[in-house]
Chain A
């Protein structure tokens, strides 16, 4: 695999950081170019260091079993730690990923002194918790106070869902302004290099972090909000946790995986009284923005967020749930979309026992019914699933091999490559 020297295109108020990744063995769709795009004022912080493409690129190389040739500059610190990073990923996923050699053209640190502190910001519980903990009122050290949030398009929100993305962004930016946070909309197709090759839920780490690394001229520190706490991490291995994420730091960018010290219920408790969280919390898996509220209040993630808020007696303050729970009895609705996959319900019992014990029998009922339903759903025969797809069941948004692509950007890069004299790097 060759990761070519990145380039920058400035056009129509946007900057695109792009490169070409050449693979030898892969079959199926592979992006012609990989890129990140931000509005113009932030384009000045893009750097042509190859770190942002190498981080997700190495995972792609590992899944394809291809040695990497990296053209251009790479951070020596990143290069040093990638050896251990590869070892850990291979140790955790020996059937999926193998260690590969990386040949660097040049090892040199970025010659900038960035000042900002960033975090990925999706509006979910984890990113709100990380942001809350790094506001001036909770974090006295200015070097650790978050100044910028990255709102990514091309990750959980696809490029085809421009309307939804815009809807969220417009609200986020209003609230971000109130707390002095600069919200940066960043678009990318980087997930496309491992899409259909690796499950995104396990391998989201390098993709998200690469967005922070791409703005190397801006960030001296970047927080990756933890999806899983130390209890969960003991049982399951991912590509993002407090051990592996910092290994992707560079000389100028310190990456911190934040929040694994708190269980999801504890995070919700911490942000429950925060007006910003009450107004913009977005956790829904269904992306049904046309209904009132951003959160459908029917999916598993909506429920496992609503229930702790309900037992804390603060659900009425949260404006983004379409159908908030109003009584204990309504907790039974969780059974409908209950999933055993993430094991959040084991932490929920002690939490509810502590805050609203009269809700406990209803929750037990929901879990009991939910387990039966979950068993039936997961054991549904293939032909039945196929049939149900016509009604919208068992359909995922990112099924297409090119789900993370944006043809318009690919065309811009193609055109730019075809017209060398007007290049503007």
Chain B
């Protein structure tokens, strides 16, 4: 596999950094170029090192078993640690990826002295928690206070949902201004390296790290909010955790996986009285945003977030839920989209026991119903699932056409490049 030298392209007030990725054996649905796009105001902060392409690109090499040749410059620190990083990924997911050789044309640190401190920002519990912990009132070390949030299109929000993305961006930027944080919109197609070949929840780490690296001229430090706490990490294998993410740091960019020290319910407690969180919390899987709210209250993630908020008696303060819990009986809603495999049930029950014990019987009933429902859903035969797809059930949004690609940008790159 060859990762070519990254190049820059300007388009309607935006700057695109792109690089060609060439596999020796052609693979179906594999992107011919990888790209990131940011508003042109950030052009000066873009890095033309290959770090941002190597980090996610490595997954393709490891999956297809192809040695990698990197034509652009790579941080020596990153290159050193990639050996251990590859080992760790292979050790954890030996069926999916294996270590490969990497040939570097040039090992060189980025010639920049970045000053910004960034975080990926989706508006979810994890990123709000990380942001909250690094505001001046909670973090007294200036060098660790967050200055920028990266809001990514092409990660959890797909290119088919651009309208919703810009609606959220507008709101986040306004809110960010009030707390002194710049929210940067970043678009990318790099998720195509893993989807649909690798299991997304296991391999998203390098995607986020790649987004930080592309703005290497801006960030000296970058936080990746933890999705899983130390209890879960013991049993849940992933490419993103407090051990593996820092291995993707470069000489000028320090990557920190933040928040694994707190359980999800503890994070919710921490942000529950924060006005910014109350105005912007977005956890929903369904993304049916409208004026009535950002969170549907029907999906598993909405319910597992709402239960602790309700138990804390702050549900009324959160403006982003369409149909917030109002009574204990509403707790039964959880059953509707209950998913025990996510592992949040024991901590939620424990939390409710401490904060609102009268909700407990309803939650236990919801867990019981939910388990039965979940089991029945899993038992539905394949042909029936396929039939139900036409009514919107069992549809995998990851398989939607151009979910992770913007055809207009690919067209543009093709036009300016002589390689195609």
Contact = CB atoms under 8 A, between A and B. Distances in A.
A230 interface: yes
A242 B242 contact: no
A401 B261 CA distance: 35
Contacts of A87: 230, 261
Contacts of A141: 76, 79-80, 107
A80 interface: yes
Most chain B CB inside 10 Å of its own CB: which residue of A76, A141, A261: A261
Interface stretch (B83-91, B148-156, B193-201): B83-91
Contacts of A79: 141
In which size bucket is the chain B interface?
10 to 19
Interface string A224-251: 0000001000000000001100100000
Contacts of B412: none
Nearest to B140: A107
Interface in B220-271: 230, 242-243, 246, 261
Contact of A230 (B80, B91, B141): B91
Interface residues of A, number: 17
A135 interface: no
B242 A230 contact: no
Interface in A113-155: 141, 143-144
B143 interface: yes
A274 B299 CA distance: 60
Interface string A171-208: 00000000000000000000000000000000000000
Given A141-B107, A246-B246, A76 B88 contact: no
A interface, over-half SS: helix
A88 interface: yes
Contacts of B87: 230, 261
A354 to B, nearest CB: 19
A330 interface: no
B351 interface: no
A91 B229 CA distance: 11
A84 B259 CA distance: 9
A243 B80 contact: no
B80 A144 contact: yes
B374 interface: no
B141 A80 contact: yes
Interface in B182-232: 230
A81 B230 CA distance: 16
A246 B242 CA distance: 11
B76 A143 contact: yes
Given A76-B141, A88-B230, A141-B80, A243 B242 contact: yes
A261 B84 contact: yes
Interface string A82-118: 0110011001000000000000000100000000000
A414 to B, nearest CB: 37
Contacts of A84: 242, 261
B144 interface: yes
A84 B91 CA distance: 24
Contacts of A243: 242-243
Nearest to B99: A261
A226 B308 CA distance: 41
Contacts of B91: 230
Nearest to B242: A243
Contacts of A88: 230
A84 to B, nearest CB: 6
A76 B143 contact: yes
Contacts of A242: 84, 243
Nearest to A259: B84
Contacts of B143: 76
Contact of A91 (B80, B84, B88, B230): B230
Contacts of A261: 83-84, 87
Contacts of B246: 246
Nearest to A246: B246
B139 to A, nearest CB: 8
B36 to A, nearest CB: 27
A87 B263 CA distance: 12
Contacts of A107: 141
A230 B80 CA distance: 18
A350 to B, nearest CB: 16
Interface in A61-80: 76, 79-80
A107 B141 CA distance: 8
B305 to A, nearest CB: 23
Contacts of B261: 83-84, 87
B345 to A, nearest CB: 21
A183 B184 CA distance: 49
Contacts of B243: 242-243
A144 B83 CA distance: 14
B182 to A, nearest CB: 22
B270 to A, nearest CB: 14
Contacts of A80: 141, 144
Q: Which 6 residue pairs are nearest across A and B when measured between Cβ atoms? A: A87-B261, A261-B87, A243-B243, A76-B141, A141-B76, A91-B230
18 contacts: A76-B141, A76-B144, A79-B141, A80-B141, A83-B261, A84-B242, A87-B230, A87-B261, A88-B230, A91-B230, A107-B141, A141-B79, A144-B76, A144-B80, A230-B87, A230-B88, A246-B246, A261-B84
Interface of A: 76, 79-80, 83-84, 87-88, 91, 107, 141, 143-144, 230, 242-243, 246, 261
Given A76-B143, A230-B88, 10 more contacts: A76-B141, A79-B141, A80-B141, A84-B242, A91-B230, A141-B80, A230-B91, A242-B243, A261-B83, A261-B84
